């Protein structure tokens, strides 16, 4: 039994669903463009630079979920999938996932983006297992806060270990483990799997991958 882990944004997707969700809400008039567009871009640039304060970002990203009923958010998300997400799904990404599924590998998307945004995207890829940052909810509605450890940097290892432990597994339970990511933010997890793969890597990850002899692939 093998384990295949996939980062989502800029790895399986040719773009960032977290960033695009805020841009979508701005576009349909839910968020004020003047107040939110510059801040959204600022957080995205910090993420790429490796300087993101994840809790400050989550406060920005999750607060809008608490201001609207879940039924309304779900309607907006279906539109978001059609207009923003599906154009970011590439044939190469679908084929990569399909190869692992055909080999009966355990396939997991592991992403810093919250599960409200990413669960429908995981279903689009036919991937049953999702490890994502979890928005807190009460009586089915979002509170605007995060629940548990964000799935970001070293937090991805924490969340993966929790997921494995709940199933009576460890990484050593698998004959092979592979992780595909584009981002240097994922180096902690890339360094503990048996087969790290730099997919559409940023400059920092590409340099590290070349130095370590890791495979480098293009899913775009």
The CATH code for residues 2-217 is 3.40.50.1000
Mean pLDDT by 10 residues, the chain (220 residues): 98 96 94 84 88 86 90 97 98 98 98 97 98 94 94 97 98 97 98 98 98 97
Q: How many CB atoms lie within 10 A of CB 66?
A: 15
Our answer to whether residue 53 is catalytic in this structure is no
Our answer to whether residue 7 is catalytic in this structure is yes
Alpha carbon distance 56, 62 (integer Å): 10
Closest to 205 measured CA to CA, from 219, 177, 186, 218: 186
Residue 67: per-residue pLDDT: 92
Q: pTM for the whole thing?
A: 0.95
């Amino acid at each position: 039994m093998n384990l295949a882990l996939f980062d989502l944004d800029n790895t399986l997707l040719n773009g960032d669903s977290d960033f695009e969700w805020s841009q979508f809400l701005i576009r349909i008039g839910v968020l004020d463009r003047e107040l939110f567009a510059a801040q959204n871009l600022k957080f995205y640039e910090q993420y790429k630079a490796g300087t993101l304060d994840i809790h400050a970002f989550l406060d920005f990203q999750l607060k809008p979920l608490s201001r609207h009923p879940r039924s309304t958010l779900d309607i907006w998300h279906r539109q978001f999938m059609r207009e923003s997400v599906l154009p970011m799904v590439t044939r190469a990404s679908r084929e990569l996932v399909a190869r692992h599924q055909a080999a009966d590998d355990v396939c997991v998307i592991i992403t810093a983006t919250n599960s409200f945004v990413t669960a429908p995207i995981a279903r689009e890829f036919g991937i049953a297992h999702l490890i994502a940052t979890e928005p807190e909810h009460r009586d089915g509605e979002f509170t605007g806060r995060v629940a548990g450890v964000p799935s970001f940097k070293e937090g991805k290892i924490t969340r993966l270990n929790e997921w494995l432990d709940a199933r009576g597994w460890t990484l050593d339970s698998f004959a092979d483990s592979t992780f595909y990511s584009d981002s240097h933010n994922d180096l902690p997890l890339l360094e503990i799997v048996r087969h790290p793969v730099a997919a559409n890597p940023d400059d920092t990850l590409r340099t590290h991958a070349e130095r370590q002899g890791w495979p480098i692939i293009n899913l775009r």
